[in-house]
Structure 1
Amino acid sequence: MAGHSSSGMGSSSASSTPTRSDSTMPSIDNDTIGCVGVGTQNPSLALPPKPKKSEQTSMVWEHFTKVEGGDPEDPKSQCNYCKKLFSCHSKRLGTSSMLTHLKNTCKKYSSKFDKSQSKLSFEVKREGQMAMGEGTVGNLVITKYNAGKIREAIAKMIIKDELPFRFVEGEGFRDFMNIVEPRFSIPSRYTVMKDCIKLFLSEKEKLRAMFMTTGVRVCLTTDTWTSVQNLNYMVITSHFIDSDWNLHKRIINFCLIPNHKADTIGEKILSCMLEWGIRNIFTITVDNASTNDAALEFVKRRTGNKEGAILESRFMHIRCCAHILNLIVTDGLKEVDDSIVRVRSAVKYVKSSPARFEKFKGCIEREQISFKGLLCLDVSTRWNSTFLMLEGAEKCQSAFQLMEEFDKNFKSALNEEKNEKEGLGPPTCVDWNRIRIFLKFLKLFYDATMRLSGSLYCTSNMYFQEVCGIQMHLQEYINSDDFVLSSMAERMMMKYNKYWGDLENNDKVNLMMFVAVVLDPRTKLESLEYWFKDVLGDKKCEEMVKKLKSCLNKLYDHYNVGQSSSQVQHGSELLQGSSMKIEETESANFYFMNR
């Protein structure tokens, strides 16, 4: 064993190497070792080279085959489905054209996928459901790929979000859709425009069919105006209640008109009714322009004898309550108080440059004011903007006072400013106290306007309470010791009496507004009698109640005619065997009024 070990660890001659067959071990001479160098293997002993990775890494090669024996400078590939040839040079062209062919143009490839195959997905929660506190993940529903539904959804998105048609051609939207649904071919802006028009026509036909088949009674509102380009526009909006007692608001006309004459407005309303198949008009609400009065008389003459008219359309004309409130407040603010002028000048100075506004924001932070809104200047034609300006400025009173200390130009600029009243200077503590009084006064009208301007809920039953409440507050401010407030309230009361004063003989007040109060289960006729006594006095109250009862009885008779025996019997059951006195027929009136 020892001898064997020593011979194995001796000299490095060839005789000491293990004896192996020449066929299995190649001979290596010293020259070869010297040429290769230390640590380098003989090429004849190196491992075989690693196979190169295939260049066909794109998914398109699962659907395309390279054409063998072609021009190396212009290789071709063939679609496995439609056998169409494409150039596929790896450096000059790539696989984009083949991918586009698979997604958009190869019909045989698209037919291999069953687009009607159902898939499970989570139901999308609507905004209303999210607000109700329900979970963000909906129930599992079965969905199918439908390119038509996707195009319709895109058209609805363009309309609801008021997006330009070219939005679908944006790079970001296309990237998004390629990830969401690669099979969908994104339409051009011209196609989206056509889809929007198609969607409008489809919805119009559905709404028109509903008007014609159900005979639902519709209330219209309309307005006209002139743009800065001296173009005359007119809009007509319909309000109606469907068979499920849901209130709807739909704009059914928005068009150019040649002028603001009464006949033009009246003809446009009648043609719109004919176009949409509207037969039953209940009321038409307009502002207080004299041309609208004549236009409504024109419509009454043309529709008074038709079957769908209520009492020969005598109660069709409704004057916009929010517009009357605007006239009342605007008339009262004609002589603007000095305190309002000073606050307006201070807001104007702060918003006149970004540097001043940044300095003012610094004052807000130093005073730790939690007001998150932005200051706004008022507009002369919108009194509510004056209210919003004063409301925002009053919350930042301490910031304005700090601005006066740190900004040397603040006081001098307001003293030199040429406004309605020159050089009044910055607002003082007395001015801010007066602003709070004005805010309390104007907030009554602002809140009433917001409540009466709602379009997603009924407002006719709120009309009388709001009108009476405004009258009581105006009378309270007229008796105020503050001369400015008293004179302002007196001017407003004069405008109030023009439209809502002397309810008994005022033809500007529609009796339907009182009928709505009677049909409200929370008020009834007794509530109106109470208000009439307070507003008109005992004698005029009796006459007004008698007039209202006569109107309600006529309405009952109108809806009773033509009803089936079962409907009349149902109405009689609502009366519960009582006599035909109006106090006892309010529930029956409510039933027939909404048929």
Structure 2
Amino acid sequence: MSESLVQAIASNQPELNVEMLEDIEIEKLGEGNAATTKEKENEKSKKRKTGAPAERIALCKYIILDELPFKAAEKEGFKIFVAEICPMFQISSGYTSGGCKREFSVSPRLTDIVGKSIGELLVDVVTQWLLPRLFSCTLDNAAANDVAMRHVHSKLNARNILATNGQYLHQRCVSHIINLVVEGLEDIGMSVIRGREAVKWINASPSRSRSFKDIAKIAKVDTSKFLCMDVPTRWNLTYLMLEAALPYEPAMRLFQTMNPYFASDLKERNHRKMSIGVPTELDWIEVKRMCGFLEQFYNLTHLVFGSHYFTSHQVLMELCDMIGLITDLEEDEDDGFRNMVMRLRLKLGKYWLEETKLNPKMNKILYIAIMLDPDPRQKMKHVEYCLKLVYGSTWANELLE
């Protein structure tokens, strides 16, 4: 504030002295500084908002470098901390758009629209490629694909393009069906969960992994694979985890005695209000059984995944082996294992089995393909044997007719 202004105010208002005016000036300067600080904070907030990708990358580095689970960023304490230091930063959620699948499945109108669009695209492709004949299309098992195949059948059959009048047109992807069947294994058993948690504990830090490898050498574990983590919702990764862990059974027993934290930490972990603990000898027996069971499905998926060789003629044989295994396990003494196998059989029957009547979802080309195999053993007699093995003589003879 200038001296002339101070004198003018003092002359008009005698009760105000110079000291009071200086206080007013300081107060106004403080308000100005506060306004400036607020503007700077707003600018920083804008920068934070626009710099969100960089902050997300920094969050990823934090998770990776400290070997933390992804859910660490969704913990309540971490959210409070981030809200204090950077209110504008939005933490990405771990939730996915899985609900869209439910919306899609319950909306017949949307299914019809999408299915017809897929069908039109397939018809256009056949037309552009100048294909004189079309035998079959392999698609995932989905309601929209059912609509698409009906559309393709009506359009192309009228133009006499479909072989055998489209009788074998729609082939549902075998690998996709296997995944649908096996991914329903929610109650996979406490033994597998103990094995999973033990593997998770060992792989939680490099020092633990090194210590376990040293003990594995002492235990003379003969395997080239090391423990690998799985994803609980992916059955094929669970199989690979169990397969890799089985040879390390003696090493884990020795590791338990040499590292007391291994047993104590696992004992504190819970699953459905039950203490997990370390895998016991009975658990390893159960893990071995589960591994052998999942191996059948794993081998079949790898077989049909092939893209550089024919696969359709091998599906029936593998399917028969799988059903035979399920039939044997339905008489198992373990109630949990028996119930799990029975649920698998129901889901498998939805797509393939024809125990009492013809299954519209079962493409009969899988029966015919085996007879086209150049191997002289894979002919009609073998198809007859497979069908009788699965369905019994009476119904198998009707299917053969």
TM-score above 0.5, yes or no: yes
- Answer yes or no: is 1:288 the counterpart of 2:128: no
Whole-angstrom CA distance in 2 between matches of 1:542 and 1:432: 43
- Among 138, 145, 151, the residue aligned to 1:298: 151
Whole-angstrom CA distance in 2 between matches of 1:491 and 1:394: 26
- Among 385, 389, 392, the residue aligned to 1:530: 385
- Answer yes or no: is 1:355 the counterpart of 2:207: yes
Other-structure match for 2:287: 435
Whole-angstrom CA distance in 2 between matches of 1:314 and 1:453: 24
Is this contact kept in 1: 2:353–2:362, CA < 8 A?
A: no
Other-structure match for 1:319: 172
- Among 163, 176, 179, the residue aligned to 1:310: 163
Is this contact kept in 1: 2:246–2:284, CA < 8 A?
A: yes
Is this contact kept in 2: 1:464–1:517, CA < 8 A?
A: yes
* Counterpart residue identity of residue 208, structure 2: R
Report the Cα offset of residue 430 of structure 1: 1.3
* Counterpart residue identity of residue 357, structure 1: S
Q: Residue 261 of structure 1 aligns to a residue in which SS?
A: helix
Give a deviation string over 1:393-451, Cα, whole Å, max 9, x none: 11111222222122222112111224455421111111111111111222122222222
Whole-angstrom CA distance in 2 between matches of 1:541 and 1:430: 40
Cα gap change, 1:538 to 1:394, in 2 (>3 Å): closer
* Counterpart residue identity of residue 395, structure 2: K
- Among 271, 290, 298, the residue aligned to 1:446: 298
Is this contact kept in 1: 2:266–2:278, CA < 8 A?
A: yes
Other-structure match for 2:368: 515
Report the Cα offset of residue 536 of structure 1: 3.1
CA RMSD of aligned residues (A): 2.6
* Counterpart residue identity of residue 197, structure 2: S
Give a deviation string over 1:258-281, Cα, whole Å, max 9, x none: x99212222232333344444432
Cα gap change, 1:346 to 1:538, in 2 (>3 Å): closer
Report the Cα offset of residue 344 of structure 1: 0.7
- Answer yes or no: is 1:372 the counterpart of 2:211: no
Is this contact kept in 2: 1:477–1:486, CA < 8 A?
A: yes
Whole-angstrom CA distance in 1 between matches of 2:208 and 2:389: 53
The 5 Å alignment of 1:391-406 reads: 391-406=243-258
Q: Residue 304 of structure 1 aligns to a residue in which SS?
A: helix
Other-structure match for 1:543: 398
Other-structure match for 1:261: 114
The number of residues matched between the two structures is: 293
Other-structure match for 1:273: 126
The 5 Å alignment of 1:30-179 reads: none
Is this contact kept in 2: 1:315–1:511, CA < 8 A?
A: yes
* Structure 1 moving runs of 4+ over 6 Å: none
Report the Cα offset of residue 285 of structure 1: 0.9
Other-structure match for 2:315: 463
Q: Please give the TM-score of this superposition, normalised by the length of structure 1.
A: 0.46
Give a deviation string over 1:241-264, Cα, whole Å, max 9, x none: xxxxxxxxxxxxxxxxxx992122
Is this contact kept in 2: 1:285–1:319, CA < 8 A?
A: yes
Other-structure match for 1:498: 350
Whole-angstrom CA distance in 2 between matches of 1:260 and 1:375: 47
Whole-angstrom CA distance in 1 between matches of 2:361 and 2:155: 21
Q: Structure 1 unaligned segments of length 5 or more: list them.
A: 1-227, 233-258, 547-595
Cα gap change, 1:277 to 1:353, in 2 (>3 Å): farther
Other-structure match for 1:330: 183
Is this contact kept in 2: 1:415–1:422, CA < 8 A?
A: no
Q: Please give the TM-score of this superposition, normalised by the length of structure 2.
A: 0.67
Report the Cα offset of residue 338 of structure 1: 0.7
Q: Which has the higher helix share?
A: 2
Cα gap change, 1:385 to 1:420, in 2 (>3 Å): farther
Other-structure match for 2:266: 414
Other-structure match for 1:114: none
Report the Cα offset of residue 499 of structure 1: 1.5
* Counterpart residue identity of residue 270, structure 1: V
Is this contact kept in 2: 1:341–1:421, CA < 8 A?
A: no
* Counterpart residue identity of residue 414, structure 1: L
* Counterpart residue identity of residue 244, structure 2: G
